[in-house]
Amino acid sequence: MEKVLRFTYDNQTIDHLGVKLYSTIPPMLAELISNAWDADAHNVYISLENGSDKRITVKDDGTGMSFDDLNEKFLKIGRNRRLDLDEDKTLEGRLVLGKKGLGKLSMFGIGKQIMITSVKDGFETSFLMDYDKIRANTGSYEPEIICAEKKTSDANGTTIVIDRINRKSDFDLAGIEQGIRDRFHIFSPDFVVHIGDEIVIDNCKISEESYQFSWHFPDDYIADFEKHADLLAFAKERNVTGSLYTAYTPLKSSVQGIVLFSRNKLVQENKTFDKRGNDNFFLYMTGSFDVDFIDNDKSIDNCSTDRKSLAWDNYNNDDLDKLKSLLEEVVSITQTKWRKQRKEKKKENLKTRGEDIDKWLESLTPAEKPLAKKLVDAIIENDDIKEEQAEEFIENIRDMYGFKSFQDFTAELSEMDKLDDDTAIKLLTDWQIIESKEYARVAIGRLETINQFEKFIKEDASETKVIQKFLEEFPWLLDPRMSKFDREVTYSKILKENFPDEELPEHDRRMDFLCTNDGGLIRIIELKRPSIKITSVQLNQIAQYVEFIKNHYPGNAQQVQGYLISDKMTYDPGVQLQIEALESKGIYVKSYSDLLAEARRYNKQFYDVAENIELKKLGEDNLR
């Protein structure tokens, strides 16, 4: 009887669990590496061939599969090996990683033709699978058999060759290696993965020297869980362990948050486990936890299909609910620890620079100390103020306390029992007048600047020779809420500053202005000469800038917005509709007239405040 290999399926299953679920290479290779681990392989060799006909080859030295194994196990979608064979370990005692029986479909997300060759106990079987032919059939497909149980002297093992890869760019070997490394903690002399000439090294041991602070669970948290003893008992019972680290500066978004591993395989990508809203802490925090217990039950699957996250919303899953509560509490406790340790460390460093803050605060009078401490704490606890700036700010505060008038003011105010006391109100009003006069002086100067800018616009001045240079001198005209303005920023400059250790080639383009504020908002501003015609070319340009920043700018920028600015402009046919569509993506077309109106509105309020206070004071004096 002629031997037949048969692959049964539903077309939607192939697409949703293969082509659409696995669109990048590292997750797909991770599935094949898992299969090799479960086959007791000691070596996995991965070859990625560039060129016009790209190819990926994955070869292992595991136990291999017979013809019947291939038919009954490999080609069967959704087979739960642990449940089917009632086994949780391999012949060599390894904990089995595979469970869903879907890893084979991952290859179709990368290539459309798969050659599989497996040798077991001196017999070789080889066959070819073609995605287009699978799709052309309905529910059943017979792969093309190259050879069936042919005698061979080759050692046991399985080789998979993926062809017809729909990819223009070359394989990023370093990125793929990093992607594989991030998904496992199984690499050792007994299980080696080779990518070309490189060997993937286990990175489960984080170098603590690269981070400012580190905490290890549960040892560093036992005293903090007095109010949540039940969660700590759960962690000990389930053997949940892990570590959290915070960096000196904000981390790349790709490593921010906590990852979870079960049986040394990734089951949850970076997640903040933040129950209190966004905070700068999460820009600095990374870590990993081992949660092997979630994979102990052979019949219950707590992982999402693509292994990117746990199934947190599984109905009535008490263990996952408790794990989530545990990690949220660990993160919350770590936030508090981090702020306290950062503050003390900053104080220590400032002390070595000649700023003994505690000693200076102790030298102040009881009336002076509360306000001084409040100001100093605000500086030290601000993540955006570096030590050099903090030293300068604190020196200014110390100088301010040297003025007798300031000492008298704080002394009188601190002695007031009630804020509705006439003297207290007078003190506060006088101080408000002093501040508002300073605001008014700045505002008047700004209004004059606005008038000059308006003159340039009316004259259709050159955007490069006049407008850009003027805005570089007075960037608050673009947006008074932005704290940092960089002019003529190029792609290569951003890549060089933020990714110094990586090669990220990018066509060098130049943005007119890149603006940021303390809240994580990033604005890209492109200026055009007044009275130009706006076309799709300019809109595509600002859209590409926004896309680039979203993909490459470090830190957890919640918003990236793009602005194309001109005045008295006209539009090509169809451009107005494009503008309306882009607004939903945070890309806008504004006029210089809009900028002028907003700048006037923002700065005039300071002048109005001063004027109103003066009028009010004058009225009170007349009543007396």
First to last CA, the chain: 117
Q: Residue 163's pLDDT is what?
A: 95
Average of per-residue pLDDT across 271-294: 85
The CATH number that domain 7-199 falls under is: 3.30.565.10
Q: With 90 as the cut, is the pLDDT of residue 167 above it?
A: no
Q: Checking DSSP bridges between strand 123-130 and strand 144-151, what pairing results, if any?
A: antiparallel
Quote the mean pLDDT of the chain. 80
C-alpha dihedral sign at 298, 303, 305, 307: negative
Q: Which of 55-64, 143-152, 432-441, 485-494 has the lowest mean pLDDT?
A: 432-441
Average of per-residue pLDDT across 268-284: 82
- CA–CA gap between residue 325 and residue 423 (Å, rounded): 52
Q: With 50 as the cut, is the pLDDT of residue 504 above it?
A: no
Structure tokens at 403: 């003025």
The CATH number that domain 446-601 falls under is: 3.40.1350.10
pLDDT, tens digit, for every residue of 330-367? 999 999 999 889 888 888 887 777 678 888 888 888 87
Please classify residue 189 by burial: count the beta carbons closer than 10 Å to its beta carbon, then call 0-12 exposed, 13-18 middle and 19+ buried. exposed
- Paired residues of 123 in beta bridges: 120, 151
- Paired residues of 144 in beta bridges: 128
Q: Are 564 and 538 in contact (CB under 8 A)?
A: yes
Q: Are 115 and 163 in contact (CB under 8 A)?
A: yes
Q: With 50 as the cut, is the pLDDT of residue 125 above it?
A: yes
Q: What percentage of the chain has pLDDT greater than the value 90?
A: 27
Task: Please tell me the pTM assigned to this model.
Answer: 0.59
Average of per-residue pLDDT across 273-278: 72
- CA–CA gap between residue 510 and residue 489 (Å, rounded): 6
- CA–CA gap between residue 252 and residue 246 (Å, rounded): 12
Instruction: Determine if residue 587 is left, alpha or beta; phi over 0 gives left, psi from -120 to 50 gives alpha, anything else beta.
Output: beta
Q: Are 180 and 29 in contact (CB under 8 A)?
A: yes
Q: With 80 as the cut, is the pLDDT of residue 228 above it?
A: yes
Q: What is the DSSP string of 461-476?
A: --IIIIIHHHHHH-GG
Average of per-residue pLDDT across 170-196: 90
Q: Residue 11's pLDDT is what?
A: 54
CB neighbours of 87 closer than 8 A, spacing ≥ 6? Answer: 81, 96
Q: What percentage of the chain has pLDDT greater than the value 70?
A: 76
Q: Are 214 and 302 in contact (CB under 8 A)?
A: no
Residue scoring higher pLDDT (422 or 330):
330
Q: Residue 429's pLDDT is what?
A: 46
Q: With 80 as the cut, is the pLDDT of residue 507 above it?
A: no
Q: Residue 569's pLDDT is what?
A: 86
Average of per-residue pLDDT across 230-234: 94
pLDDT band for position 261 (cuts 50, 70, 90): very high
Of 55-59, 249-253, 411-415, give the range with the top mean pLDDT: 55-59
Q: With 60 as the cut, is the pLDDT of residue 277 above it?
A: no
pLDDT band for position 425 (cuts 50, 70, 90): very low
User: What residue spans define the domains of the chain?
Assistant: 7-199, 208-337, 353-414, 446-601
Q: Residue 273's pLDDT is what?
A: 92
Q: With 90 as the cut, is the pLDDT of residue 62 above it?
A: yes
pLDDT, tens digit, for every residue of 573-611? 988 999 998 988 889 998 888 888 887 777 766 556 556
Counting other chains too, the contacts that 500-506 makes at CB distance below 8 Å and 24 or more residues apart are: 502/174, 504/552, 506/548, 506/552
Cα 604 to the center of its chain, rounded Å: 39
- CA–CA gap between residue 531 and residue 529 (Å, rounded): 7
Q: With 80 as the cut, is the pLDDT of residue 242 above it?
A: yes
Task: Give the angle 135-140-141 at the CA atoms, nearest 5°.
Answer: 65
pLDDT band for position 414 (cuts 50, 70, 90): low
- CA–CA gap between residue 521 and residue 515 (Å, rounded): 8
